[in-house]
Chains A and B, each alone.
Chain A
């Protein structure tokens, strides 16, 4: 576990002091980097905040263990997020921007950061595919509520047996969608 795990824990516990420290330590560098790549100041703020939210979602079950400097991980998440933003808009990426600011991050840290960022990418893909699953989405989400499944089945006008069957089929469908997604495959180690 890296010493910067404290920043992960701070996000989970909403520790204001340490979250402020994240901004003080990492926002100026990340902002300079993103602006040098053609990002606007507003968008840089969005990218930074959304990256922290993504990291929070990844680690909210307290199972995630950071094995590299927080800065290396955050930089990679911001980079990917910005790249995705440019794909959705006409924004051009400046390719010879300020990379030098991050030469202090050791190479092995980048490898660990990439592993973490890939895990985050895989989870995001699962959630975005679930989002597109219509009825199945509802069944899967309701099945994960912390209440008796029999009650949920009744609310949905199904027998318990049928609800379980539908839920399994839906999970199977989701698994297949995920398995066949080329982007997901590229994120698997």
Chain B
């Protein structure tokens, strides 16, 4: 007998009737193809289930990890407390730091608002994966942003709330200087709970800045966290909107 995916799922979820289950298990002992399908679906289900479960408790774990990471990986945090340093050394250090900052501002170009990095979108076309989304990802990664906008807009009509689509559409819009349409996309993402929430604050700030909505730009730029790779660019936005 040929079993469908629905049948296999029913088996894995314990929803098969006793007689049907017995027949299924009998076939499973000899049918290698069926064994593979069962294993494949079992792996997918358990993986997704497990990761969903982990996402729910992750914020609690991060509360423990983040301060430890700060302590063990960031020099300034490590040096806090303990050592007595003479005031002369403090003044010397301040003077040195001030000189370095002065030299930096006098001779080196500052961080440009537009110098921000953009990560590739995963899932671009490879063999057997020529879905619309994969094609859009490929256009995005090839920096063909005008074409990517069209592709993502088409996908958005089918999945209006998909955070991945909205985020990459937003960046494509920014890259094609369409800040008016980009801004509301990033504002929604910044309010949401997707993985793009943090980055969306910067791109909302960047869009608002380009639309000369400085108050809004400041508000979003200020929300970019220090750990974010966009932090220094958000600072540049804040500087420009002073």
Selected from A44, A165, A167, the residue in CB contact (under 8 A) with B73 is A44
Q: Which B residue sits closest to A57, measured CB to CB?
A: B54
| Chain B contacts with A in 153-181, Cβ cutoff 8 A | 155, 158-159, 162, 164-165
B86 proximal to A (CB < 8 A): no
CB atoms of B74 and A144 under 8 A apart: no
Known A132-B164, A175-B40; judge A48-B57 contact (CB<8 A).
no
CB atoms of A134 and B158 under 8 A apart: yes
How far, in angstroms, from A132 to B195 measured CA to CA in the complex?
A: 13
B137 proximal to A (CB < 8 A): yes
A159 proximal to B (CB < 8 A): no
A residues in contact with B122, CB < 8 Å: 128, 131-132
Known A28-B72, A135-B159; judge A171-B44 contact (CB<8 A).
yes
B123 to chain A, nearest CB (A): 4
B2 proximal to A (CB < 8 A): no
CB atoms of B123 and A16 under 8 A apart: no
Selected from B9, B52, B126, B133, the residue in CB contact (under 8 A) with A182 is B126
How far, in angstroms, from A22 to B24 measured CA to CA in the complex?
A: 46
Known A45-B69, A171-B9, A176-B128; judge A11-B61 contact (CB<8 A).
yes
A41 proximal to B (CB < 8 A): yes
B29 proximal to A (CB < 8 A): no
Q: Which A residue sits closest to B231, measured CB to CB?
A: A42
CB atoms of A164 and B6 under 8 A apart: yes
CB atoms of A31 and B159 under 8 A apart: no
CB atoms of B129 and A45 under 8 A apart: no
| Chain B contacts with A in 122-158, Cβ cutoff 8 A | 122-123, 126-129, 133-134, 137, 155, 158
B residues in contact with A45, CB < 8 Å: 69-70, 72-74
Known A89-B117, A132-B122, A134-B133; judge A61-B50 contact (CB<8 A).
yes
CB atoms of B48 and A126 under 8 A apart: yes
CB atoms of A23 and B126 under 8 A apart: no
B residues in contact with A89, CB < 8 Å: 117
A residues in contact with B70, CB < 8 Å: 45
Selected from B9, B41, B58, B158, the residue in CB contact (under 8 A) with A56 is B58
CB atoms of A178 and B44 under 8 A apart: yes
Chain A 46-72 interface mask (CB, 8 Å, partner B; 1/0) = 101100110011101100000000000
For the A-B complex with A57-B51, A61-B46, A165-B6 known, give 20 more contacts whose Cβ atoms are closer than 8 Å. Answer: A11-B61, A14-B61, A42-B73, A45-B69, A45-B74, A49-B69, A56-B58, A61-B53, A122-B47, A133-B133, A134-B159, A134-B162, A135-B162, A138-B159, A140-B48, A167-B9, A168-B4, A175-B44, A177-B129, A179-B40
